[in-house]
Structure 1
Amino acid sequence: MLSFFKRKKNEDEKIKRTGSDHAVSAKDLLHIDGATTEGNPDEEVYPELSLHPDWNIPIEQEYVFRFLNNELPPLKPNEVSLNGIEIEKKEKAIVCTAFVRSSIDQTIEIGTTPLLLIGENEIYGRKEFDLTQVGHLPPRSSRPFQFVFEEKDLYKPISAIQTENWGLVFELQRENRNHTLDLAESWEKTLAEEDKEKLRKMVESMTPPKPGEVQFVGIQAKFTNEGKLLVSLLIQNGTQQNIKLQQLPLVVEDASGDIVAQGGFILDDFEIKANTSKPWNFVFPASLLTKDVNEIDLSSWRVYPPQE
């Protein structure tokens, strides 16, 4: 399961985790307050290792899990956490190994839950996992488990995902999700108040993305005097985390369904706040057009990343 043994060249090489730690309250995740309401809320709980009863692993690997679990920070009472162990890149998937830990004084079972795969200040992907496969988690225990994100679950190419400073996060469902407009500073300064209000009303009138989804909505497409194709896009962040896009490949189709433009854009410190929509302009020079300008019909059109 783990690749530690493949990497370890000598006994002095230290075994260490590459993932981060993320804890949530049992009330928010499981809608329970825990088995007891008494006790010290500031108590430090160190969950003990619990291997899945169906697992049959070598004693050496059990030792590694036990060692890593003993190195984990304590939890507060009535918490559930995901503590990243390692991330491994496959040809068409990312495999994350992590501890699922509980500081609750009762056996729990986690159902289907959306998880975010995050990096440093960005979201790599999202997937709903059936965590009943983790099994019944004994009181105050810690169980290793593997989470597989396929290409369709990722927001960026596998090659761009870092194997250090990553983490898994429970995406908690929030009530009263008010999706709002997020304007870049440059747009705030240059856009007329009337246009800002139009964008706000547009965002308010639209069905927001599903929890955890990032979607792209075309606002306007037109040709400039220089023959370039200017596409205004609304990038909608339906997650509860701020996300950063470093590069964005886009494809534009016209009314006939033909691809009329295709190219990649490098974005400089481009962040979309949690649960907001941010507009941005993308300019396709003539060299990126795949159809003669005079034959492009923009009476209806759509734009999307080619991974979709």
Structure 2
Amino acid sequence: MLSFFKRKKTNDEDIKSTGSENAVSAKDLLNLEGVESEGDPEEEVYTELSIHPDWNIPQEQEYVFRFLNNELSPLKADEISLSGIEIVKNERQVVCSAFVRSSINQTIEIGTTTLLLIGENEVYGRKEFDLTKVGHIPPRSSRPFQFVFEQKDLYKPISAIETEIWGLAFQLQSENQDHTLDLAESWEKTLADEDKEKLRNMLGSITPPKPGEIQLVGIQSKFMDNGKLQVSILIQNGSQQNIKLQQLPLVVEDASGEVVAQGGFVLEDLEIKANTSKPWNFVFPTSLLTKDPSEIDLSQWRAYPPQE
């Protein structure tokens, strides 16, 4: 239930959507090949409220949805849009209420697709949703729905998600776009050409991350002369959006399967571009080693974020 209804008194002035609106071309999102557009590209389309036929909501709640819908800006012809209504957080979930809007002159049904939860110039997370649950959306209409993101769907803690600047957006996959290597300037300058080629060959030999997924792949691990453990990791971004990592907790296991190092790293907005992989070094001081270095077997190893 929207928090508007938790207030003792509600005036129209108090009712307003907090999320942004993000529209895409219907042809980019839906399989509409062979269907001619009936819309005038210059026309402004105002969408009518459509409540899911299985919903049985109080009259007051329908009034609020109708009021908010009437406040929305018009769409262009043949667009599908997500217009954020409200975002509510608890310890386990982020619940986003939004209008799914269509300016198409025909009834549509959206299938399984990936949605991004976005803030100001950053992606908070992503999740694949079965949007057939939204139902058949009538022509030129707007249907409210709720989208739930859990911590595993997010790139940062729930507590860090802003509720004042947010939105939902469709993630459109570009066809035939290869996953590429993205080297930081310091790596570009210091890494030998043969080592760059080895990284590219490695990238071509491993399974790329799923759409929207962040994946860590170990490159190399070694002890430095000062006894510190250095692990080199390929950070893979399967999203179509650039992401910035502010911090990354890591656990390292050796060939025995035992945890040999654990710690958190401040990355100061390390950016991994859309659909790329970036190598990065993480150095564990001896104080973060959980096993005597002489007993650590690095013939096989893996690094991963600790499970919550």
Q: Which band: TM-score by shorter chain?
A: over 0.9
Query: For residue 192 of structure 2, what is the aligned residue in structure 1?
Result: 192
Is 1:268 the equivalent of 2:262?
no
Deviation at 1:13, TM superposition (A): 5.4
Deviation at 1:93, TM superposition (A): 1.4
Superposed, 1:99-114 pairs within 5 Å as: 99-114=99-114
CA deviations on 1:260-286 (whole Å, 9 max, x unpaired) are 111111111211111000111111111
Deviation at 1:63, TM superposition (A): 2.0
The answer on whether the counterparts of 2:4 and 2:10 sit within 8 Å (CA) in structure 1 is no
Query: For residue 223 of structure 2, what is the aligned residue in structure 1?
Result: 223
What's the secondary structure of 1:278's corresponding residue?
strand
Query: For residue 235 of structure 2, what is the aligned residue in structure 1?
Result: 235
CA deviations on 1:144-200 (whole Å, 9 max, x unpaired) are 100111222223221222212122121223321200001112222222223222222
What is the TM-score of this pair, normalised by structure 2?
0.94
Q: Which amino acid aligns with 1:284?
A: F
Query: For residue 150 of structure 1, what is the aligned residue in structure 2?
Result: 150
Q: Which moves more between the two structures, 227-236 or 117-126?
A: 117-126
The answer on whether the counterparts of 2:39 and 2:104 sit within 8 Å (CA) in structure 1 is no
RMSD of equivalent CA atoms: 1.9
Query: For residue 56 of structure 2, what is the aligned residue in structure 1?
Result: 56
Q: 1:53 to 1:196 in 2, by over 3 A?
A: same
The answer on whether the counterparts of 1:79 and 1:102 sit within 8 Å (CA) in structure 2 is yes
Query: For residue 2 of structure 2, what is the aligned residue in structure 1?
Result: 2
Distance in 1 separating the partners of 2:241 and 2:48: 30
Deviation at 1:5, TM superposition (A): 3.1
Q: Which moves more between the two structures, 149-158 or 209-218?
A: 149-158
Query: For residue 298 of structure 1, what is the aligned residue in structure 2?
Result: 298
Distance in 2 separating the partners of 1:16 and 1:193: 56
Query: For residue 167 of structure 1, what is the aligned residue in structure 2?
Result: 167
What is the TM-score of this pair, normalised by structure 1?
0.94
Query: For residue 177 of structure 1, what is the aligned residue in structure 2?
Result: 177
Distance in 1 separating the partners of 2:288 and 2:38: 65
Deviation at 1:34, TM superposition (A): 9.0
Query: For residue 46 of structure 1, what is the aligned residue in structure 2?
Result: 46
Q: Which amino acid aligns with 1:137?
A: I
In the alignment of these two chains, the number of paired residues is 308
- In structure 1, stretches of 5+ residues that fail to align are none
CA deviations on 1:26-52 (whole Å, 9 max, x unpaired) are 111112169653442121111111111
What's the secondary structure of 1:164's corresponding residue?
coil
Q: Which moves more between the two structures, 248-257 or 172-181?
A: 172-181
The answer on whether the counterparts of 2:84 and 2:168 sit within 8 Å (CA) in structure 1 is yes
Distance in 2 separating the partners of 1:196 and 1:170: 34
Q: Which moves more between the two structures, 3-12 or 232-241?
A: 3-12
Query: For residue 277 of structure 1, what is the aligned residue in structure 2?
Result: 277
Q: 1:143 to 1:34 in 2, by over 3 A?
A: farther
The answer on whether the counterparts of 2:39 and 2:78 sit within 8 Å (CA) in structure 1 is no
Query: For residue 135 of structure 2, what is the aligned residue in structure 1?
Result: 135
Query: For residue 244 of structure 2, what is the aligned residue in structure 1?
Result: 244
Q: 1:7 to 1:219 in 2, by over 3 A?
A: farther
